[in-house]
Chains A and B, each alone.
Chain A
Amino acid sequence: MKKVLSVVLLVLAAGAAAGATLLPFSELLISLAPGQPQTAYVTTGWSTRFGGTKDEHGPLFGIPIVVAAAAVLVGVRWRKVAFAGAAALAGVAGMLFVHLLNVISFHEAGNIAIDPGLEAGFGNGIWVLIGAVVLAFGAVVVHPDD
């Protein structure tokens, strides 16, 4: 029973982590001129877009996330690998969270003069990623391979 639960949690964790890369990690809304509608600056694991324009050099956070998720998946067979994968996923999530926090606070402080009504915040992707970390560690706890 523990084995089944562990496998389910590990697969869910890896799937959630991979899925998180497709969701927004941060969403910044700004109006570049008075009276103009706000434009969204959205970063996902695979692209950064400002309105309809793609940043050709946007950071590909999806790569380290998918690699860590793959390690979590391999952990279905070995508990120690599952633990290492969960830790790697936590490291990715931690560093990404710090980076996004900086991007959001920088946007809020740096552009407030351009658009006092600007909005900035975390996207659902980072919360799903953190959820994946919790699931992965939960799977390690119930993993029977000791």
Chain B
Amino acid sequence: MIGRPTAIALIAVGVVLTATAMVLPWYSTAYGGGVEVVVRAWGTEIVNKPGDWPAGELSPWYGVPVAVTAALLVAGIWVARAAVAGAAGQAGAVGVTAALVVSERGHAVEQQGDFAVGFGLVFLVAGTLVALAGAVAVQREAG
């Protein structure tokens, strides 16, 4: 059994990893001509944008739901239920992100682009798993 201090420490580490993920690239695809599409929590950057493509603004704001779950994790240090809500919610959000990553990788390969997973996504997944372990432990301690 994990004691409460260890469980709280796991949640804290999960929050720190998640917060780090918010400022690092999640994934990117490089195409010919030096064009690169870099997806982050707070927007998508197109390096060496070719002319007017794409004309629309790529600002997914994927960070919004993750910021909410991270806030719940912080609240989970005092309220066990908030920790569970934050960790489970973040796992759900990561599930959607995983579906997007697999899809984007498929499109990149099809268009002969070079797809790469960024450290942001690695930190996000790690943070979610660590926070989940902490949240389950906190919930068990709470009875």
- Name A residues whose Cβ lies closer than 8 Å to a Cβ of B: 56-61, 63-64, 67-68, 71, 80, 83-85, 87-96, 98-99, 101-102, 105-113
Contacts and interface: CB of A to CB of B under 8 A. Distances in A.
B88 A94 contact: no
A101 to B, nearest CB: 8
B92 A95 contact: yes
A91 B103 contact: no
A89 B92 contact: yes
B85 A87 contact: yes
A60 B22 CA distance: 24
Contacts of A102: 58-61
B102 interface: yes
Interface in B89-139: 89-100, 102-107, 110, 139
A98 B64 contact: yes
Given A59-B103, A102-B58, A110-B54, A91 B89 contact: yes
| Chain B interface extent, by class | 35 or more
Contact of A83 (B55, B81, B93): B81
28 contacts: A56-B110, A57-B107, A63-B99, A64-B92, A64-B95, A68-B92, A68-B95, A71-B88, A83-B81, A83-B85, A84-B84, A84-B88, A87-B88, A87-B89, A89-B92, A91-B69, A91-B96, A93-B92, A94-B64, A94-B65, A94-B92, A96-B96, A98-B65, A101-B61, A106-B54, A106-B56, A108-B56, A111-B56
B96 A61 contact: yes
Contacts of B81: 83
A109 B64 CA distance: 22
A67 B96 CA distance: 11
A69 B51 CA distance: 44
A73 to B, nearest CB: 15
B96 A95 contact: yes
Contacts of A98: 60-62, 64-65
B119 to A, nearest CB: 20
B68 interface: yes
B99 A61 contact: yes
Nearest to A57: B106
Contacts of A61: 96, 99
B106 A109 contact: no
A90 B99 contact: no
A94 B91 CA distance: 12
A57 B107 CA distance: 6
